[in-house]
Structure 1
Amino acid sequence: MNASNDFRASEGLHAASKATLYAERFARYTTAMRNEMPDRVPIRPFVAEFTGVYAGYNCQELTHNYENAFDAACQCASGFEWDAVVANMVYVWTGLAQSMGLKYYAIPGIDIPAETGFQYREPKQDDAFMKADEYDALIEDPTGFLYNVWLPRVADSIVPIGQPSTTQNNLALVKTGMAMMQYFTAFGPQVDRLRTECGTVSAISGILKAPMDILADKLRGYLGLVDDLFERPEKVLAACEALAPHLGHVAKATADPNKGVPVTIWMHRGGVPFVSPKIFKEIYWSTLKPIIQDLWSEGLQTLFYAEGSWDYHLESFAELPDRSIIYHVDQGDIFKTHDVLGDKFCLSGGVANTLLSMGTHDEIRKRCKEIIDRVAQDGGYIMDASAIVQNDATVDRMRVMTEATLEYGVYSRGHSAAELKAGGPKPLAEDAKPGTFLPPPPVGHLQPGECFPWDQKRLEIGTIQGDEAICKQTWQEMDALSNMFIWQLLLSF
């Protein structure tokens, strides 16, 4: 056999070994998410700016060039024995944010030092992106409000409705629309690269936020929302109800079509102590729970990334169907969480980020063993830091967490990797009823996925000489892209 044949044979063996490794890891990861026992505890760290620490990129290089971030994620996946990582946990591409002039981001290397991760700028209470008297407009037409009112306020380059357009306005819309398409299209090859080059699972797919968190994060600001909760709570509730079907639609549209990995909800300011238990139950939870039930009715699991501490609300989360979520513990008590939720859901997290930046190796090993012994003994646990891992964590400490899990996390009663069954959990028959949990907008209002409905466009066209079904399908597909653009801008950027 000549040298070229030797090389091809070596490449083939390498590809086969990565495929086998990927299959083992995917089975291990999804077995845990089904709240079952794999061969060992899976490792799935949500590494963001840490990937730059490992790969030699600063925060500006990661956030302003997503190809660097993709490369860094793959380098980490290859350099550690992790089962799953996020394809790009840095996620916000600041090149896209800059193309439209988004006001709520401080960009590394421009607004803040190049070594600092991107920052979110909270609007001043008297200069919120939505005013207190604009609830009715949001409730009537959430998508229209985002385009007509919210977008010109959050983007320096966009001209408000009614004012003469500008070249800068037109260029910003074209550039940002094309940039978003380019960026999201690049995730497919990145997921394939993780699989084929690293044998690593892409940990999540799809994005969700609670309706009330959207109001606090991107529309009214936290202080404005607090005022509204006391002065106009009925409007806040109605707005959350109006937002819910649209947020659920985005979650489904961006989810894993094979339903193997979960949609992620980033939980921010809807729990104690940010709001009272009464507000949590009557507004936050009453409008979030139906979205989770609706996703689960279609076999889509949700990862509750519970940033901060949500211990006060564990009993509420226990109302959800078994295995419908994975619950990630940040600052909450992971042992209390296990007592309340462990029989129903897979858990993850619990290793404080301070340990990964300042802890001794013995402290990290002790914490990992403590969690494995007390939380993971029957399966249904995924090792991870408490919060997203940024550039204060060190490579040696991340290795200690990894090695401790590999040492302590092997199940003597579990299946071998080859025996594991792969795939996400499935809802029971009583839960698998799409369309019964989350009411759609009223008839006559824009539906999820719409900006300019076909019925309206059909009236404009008049006579159609060919196949109307083809015209309708093409129009709706293009219209859906414009809908996804504004909702992704709201949720992801």
Structure 2
Amino acid sequence: MNHLDSCRLSQDSEPDSKARLYDQRFARYTTAMRNEMPDRVPIRPFVAEFTGVYAGYTCQDLTHSYENAFDAACQCAAGFDWDAVVANMVYVWTGLAQSIGLKYYAIPGIDIPAETGFQYREPKQEDAFMKADEYDALIEDPTGFLYNVWLPRVADQITPIGQASTTDNNLAMVKTGMAMMQYFNAFGPQVDRLRAECGTVSAIAGILKAPMDILADKLRGYLGLVDDLFERPEKVLAACEALAPHLAHVAKMTGDPSRNVPVTIWMHRGGVPFVSPKIFKEIYWATLKPIIQDLWSEGLQTLFYAEGNWDFHLESFAELPDRSIVYHVDQGDIFKTRDVLGDKFCLSGGVANTLLSMGTPEEIRGRCKEIIDGVAKEGGYIMDASAIVQNDATVDRMRILTEATLEYGVYSRGHSTPPATSGGPKPLPEDAKPGTFLSPPPKGKLQPGECYPWEKKRAEIGEIQGDEAICRKTWQDIDALGNMFIWQLLLSF
């Protein structure tokens, strides 16, 4: 690989330069995600609180105002030669978290210092948001359980079912529902701003977590789940199976409609050493793999953000269809990952965050070159830090990572470089079979996207004097908003 000064496309000064810059970056990014060779290694850092370091905002500024967080992301995108960024990586907007009184976040500027990123506070095992004897209720009706049991326990403004409602309860539900709509509706203009002002691609769309990670993160807590895996494993498996179609539905509804950028799964506590290989295979992977296959059958690629070290499970991930995922390396061995997964999937990451906060220029440049030479030679690699970049990283060190990639990451075959082509990967015919990988809930139970089924409402209405199809569509469209609210609260906040 040779350094070509012409790759510094951001220096173009013609009136349509941003549009052409975006097209070039989009082609570069999506070509790599197809596990093919673009003109150079794309750069896609998952910058979170670092955006505040660059733009002059505190962690409190970013979490209390998503407008500040959007602005900081755009300033970073404009100030660095990056191909893609996340529209807002500081995802916990405290306006929403406080409107309903979420108990599990420590908020910058209130619970913790203004310069400290938001913190997740897992309750004590005896105070878990779901009790050990409540698996049957979750399995029977996951959406109902979230509304009736989980929500009043995680939100101090919400009155438990059976108690008299309060003004605070009613206000919290109205304010939080409107806040969520306001927040998510703001992402469209933010994506457009990144494109028009910065020529930068919005890196991801949509959200997913593994069913067992949901149990560990937001329901039973890790210690409670560990007990359950030994004392009632059949209940854990049944709960994961019950959650799976609903989680897949949220991923599809929030994913990129054009199927070009991936849904991201945040992988937490479902692998070795948190659980045994047997539990991983029989519960975690058994209920996650069908979700990934189901998404891919509809053309949705998944970015496996493998937080921690998942090297023990690389052979399992290799079971997935070619190009169905992008695999992000955090603490794992990126060269081992290349050997096992590199022929099948695009890889990203591998530059330790400690280098971006304490490393010397030589160390950062050396690591970038090592990865590019050892992993990216045939394409299918995206430059990124190992983990989400917070406010311990420095601007100078992020510039070194960027400049090293621009220097070492240019592809050349003789005197010509093949042009990158645009568009995310597409499944092969044998994989493009929606409905064959993930079973829906049994008939008679709430389906993904439902809170109050039309059949039940139809029975209450009686005679309909006009077009029933119009009535049904209107009811189902609004009912789906109620479903999306509770599942997004579970997954995104």
Which TM bucket (shorter chain)? over 0.9
1:373 aligns with 2:379: no
Query: Deviation string for 1:84-137 (max 9, x for gaps)?
Result: 000001111111001000000000001110000000001110010000000000
Amino acid of the residue matched to residue 245 of structure 1?
P
State TM-score, norm by structure 1.
0.97
Aligned 1:454-473 pairs, distance under 5 A: 454-473=454-473
Partner of residue 235, structure 1: 235
State TM-score, norm by structure 2.
0.97
Partner of residue 117, structure 2: 117
Query: Deviation string for 1:416-449 (max 9, x for gaps)?
Result: 7893210011111110000000000000000000
Mapped to 2, the partners of 1:211 and 1:26 lie a distance apart of 32
Amino acid of the residue matched to residue 39 of structure 1?
D
Amino acid of the residue matched to residue 186 of structure 2?
A
Amino acid of the residue matched to residue 353 of structure 2?
N
Structure 1 contact 266–305 (Cα < 8 Å) conserved: yes
1:270 aligns with 2:275: no
1:400 aligns with 2:400: yes
- Pick closer, same or farther for the CA change 1:284–1:435 going to 2, 3 Å: same
Partner of residue 55, structure 1: 55
Structure 1 contact 27–417 (Cα < 8 Å) conserved: no
Structure 2 contact 58–114 (Cα < 8 Å) conserved: yes
- Pick closer, same or farther for the CA change 1:466–1:414 going to 2, 3 Å: farther
What's the offset of the Cα at 1:413?
A: 2.5
Amino acid of the residue matched to residue 264 of structure 2?
T
Query: Deviation string for 1:276-301 (max 9, x for gaps)?
Result: 00000000000000000000000100
Identity between Structure 1 and Structure 2 (%): 87
Query: Deviation string for 1:58-92 (max 9, x for gaps)?
Result: 00000000000000000000000000000001111
Give the aligned CA root-mean-square deviation in angstroms. Answer: 1.1
What's the offset of the Cα at 1:20?
A: 0.2
Say which SS state the counterpart of residue 419 (structure 1) adopts: coil
Mapped to 2, the partners of 1:383 and 1:294 lie a distance apart of 28
Partner of residue 94, structure 2: 94
Mapped to 2, the partners of 1:428 and 1:413 lie a distance apart of 28
Say which SS state the counterpart of residue 88 (structure 2) adopts: coil
Partner of residue 431, structure 2: 431
Partner of residue 410, structure 1: 410
Aligned 1:282-297 pairs, distance under 5 A: 282-297=282-297
Mapped to 2, the partners of 1:338 and 1:175 lie a distance apart of 47
Aligned 1:217-236 pairs, distance under 5 A: 217-236=217-236
What's the offset of the Cα at 1:15?
A: 5.3
Structure 2 contact 303–326 (Cα < 8 Å) conserved: yes
Structure 2 contact 37–420 (Cα < 8 Å) conserved: no
Partner of residue 104, structure 2: 104
What's the offset of the Cα at 1:350?
A: 0.1
Mapped to 2, the partners of 1:438 and 1:16 lie a distance apart of 45
Mapped to 2, the partners of 1:175 and 1:420 lie a distance apart of 46
Amino acid of the residue matched to residue 345 of structure 2?
F
> Which consecutive unaligned segments of at least 5 residues does structure 1 have?
1-12
Mapped to 2, the partners of 1:439 and 1:40 lie a distance apart of 41
Partner of residue 198, structure 2: 198
Structure 2 contact 299–425 (Cα < 8 Å) conserved: yes
Structure 1 contact 372–408 (Cα < 8 Å) conserved: yes
Partner of residue 326, structure 1: 326
Amino acid of the residue matched to residue 293 of structure 2?
Q
Partner of residue 442, structure 1: 442
Partner of residue 18, structure 1: 18
Structure 1 contact 28–417 (Cα < 8 Å) conserved: no
Mapped to 1, the partners of 2:332 and 2:122 lie a distance apart of 25
Partner of residue 10, structure 2: none
Mapped to 2, the partners of 1:138 and 1:178 lie a distance apart of 27
What's the offset of the Cα at 1:169?
A: 0.2
Amino acid of the residue matched to residue 44 of structure 2?
R
Amino acid of the residue matched to residue 154 of structure 2?
V
Say which SS state the counterpart of residue 68 (structure 1) adopts: helix
Mapped to 2, the partners of 1:158 and 1:418 lie a distance apart of 58
Partner of residue 364, structure 1: 364
Structure 2 contact 262–303 (Cα < 8 Å) conserved: yes
Mapped to 2, the partners of 1:358 and 1:249 lie a distance apart of 41
Structure 1 contact 78–198 (Cα < 8 Å) conserved: yes
> Which consecutive unaligned segments of at least 5 residues does structure 2 have?
1-12
Amino acid of the residue matched to residue 278 of structure 1?
K
Say which SS state the counterpart of residue 188 (structure 2) adopts: helix
Partner of residue 261, structure 2: 261
Say which SS state the counterpart of residue 171 (structure 2) adopts: helix
Amino acid of the residue matched to residue 413 of structure 1?
R
Partner of residue 3, structure 2: none
Say which SS state the counterpart of residue 357 (structure 2) adopts: helix
Amino acid of the residue matched to residue 343 of structure 1?
D
Mapped to 2, the partners of 1:184 and 1:25 lie a distance apart of 25
Structure 2 contact 66–93 (Cα < 8 Å) conserved: yes
- Pick closer, same or farther for the CA change 1:428–1:112 going to 2, 3 Å: same
Mapped to 2, the partners of 1:78 and 1:418 lie a distance apart of 27
- Pick closer, same or farther for the CA change 1:21–1:417 going to 2, 3 Å: farther
